[in-house]
Amino acid sequence: MNTQLDRDPIISQADEEALQEIEDAGHDVLAVRAYRGNVGEEYTPLIKWEEWIGDFEESYQGEMSTREFAEQLAEDCFDFDGTLSQVAQYFDYEKWERDLFMGDYWENDGYIFRAI
């Protein structure tokens, strides 16, 4: 097997099969690894992935920098092209980014997650 799973030199056969099932189900295995690295592998056992994958799906926002995410979210939340176009020049993306990642969102290995 030559996929993005080939990162751990020591992995049980059951875990390898679970990772393959996760990938086959359409999930980004590296994002799943980042999620498990922050949430804790004891709470996200690979062989029971179907029990916690819903939380992963709800939390996962994508792969990007925290700055890119903050800018995208601001544009999605505020009408900077319309009624708030005059306000856009005063918007402080740096503070917005800092505040978002103080509790509502978190990042691990370039993957962004919403705290749920």
Q: Any alpha helices (H) in the chain, and if so which ranges?
A: 13-24, 29-39, 49-59, 66-77, 93-100
Give the pLDDT confidence of 48-59 residue by residue, as tens digits: 999 999 999 999
Domain limits, the chain: 13-114
Give the pLDDT confidence of 58-107 residue by residue, as tens digits: 999 999 999 999 989 988 888 777 766 777 777 888 999 999 999 999 99
**Cα–Cα dist 109/45, whole Å:** 20
Q: Tell how strand 60-63 and strand 105-108 pair up.
A: unpaired
Among 10, 36, 9, smallest CA distance to 22 is for: 36
Sheet with strand 60-63: strands edge to edge:
60-63, 111-114, 105-108
- Taking the model in full, what pTM does it have? 0.81
